[in-house]
């Protein structure tokens, strides 16, 4: 019987963005474990929150997570399943998308 290593909080960060950077808040929460020198991510929650852009869903404009046993994307109140390749790819997509949102929002800064 193979024992799965105990899951721990690997990263938990919140960044308040200055208005010139789009305003709002970036939140990262990543859980997992180390195995043979490699990080295995088991749970994650990435969110861009900005009440000046979207007031629903507690201000979550964009988010990616794997709660409820599937990988999905939140965008202004809508949730859609997404294909999961790797946590790193998901994190890269999140980064690219929130930067595009800030760029296109222009004057809607918190």
pLDDT in tens, 21-80: 889 999 999 999 998 889 999 999 999 999 999 999 999 999 999 999 999 999 999 999
Query: Domain total for the chain?
Result: 1
Residue 40 inside a domain? The answer is yes
Please provide the size of the chain in residues: 110
Kindly state whether residue 63 falls inside one of the protein's structural domains: yes
Q: Is residue 3 part of a domain?
A: no
Which domain does 46 fall in, by range?
8-105
pLDDT at 1: 67
**How many Cα atoms within 13 Å fall on the side-chain side of residue 33?**
7
- Are 60 and 49 contacting, i.e. CB atoms less than 8 angstroms apart? yes
Strands 8-16, 25-35: pairing is: antiparallel
108 vs 18, residue with greater confidence: 18
pTM assigned to the model: 0.87
Tell me whether residue 62 is in a domain. Answer: yes
Residue 98's CB: how many other CB atoms inside 10 A?
21
């Amino acid at each position: 019987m193979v024992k799965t290593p105990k899951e721990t909080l690997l990263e938990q960060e919140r960044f308040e963005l200055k208005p010139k950077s789009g305003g709002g808040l970036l939140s990262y929460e990543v859980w997992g474990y180390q195995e043979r020198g490699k990080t295995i991510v088991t749970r994650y929650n990435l969110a861009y929150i900005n009440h000046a852009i979207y007031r629903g869903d507690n201000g979550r404009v964009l988010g990616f997570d794997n709660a409820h046993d599937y990988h999905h994307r939140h965008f202004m109140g809508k949730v859609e399943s997404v294909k999961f390749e790797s946590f790193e790819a998901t994190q890269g997509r999140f980064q690219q998308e929130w930067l595009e949102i800030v760029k296109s929002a222009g004057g809607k800064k918190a």
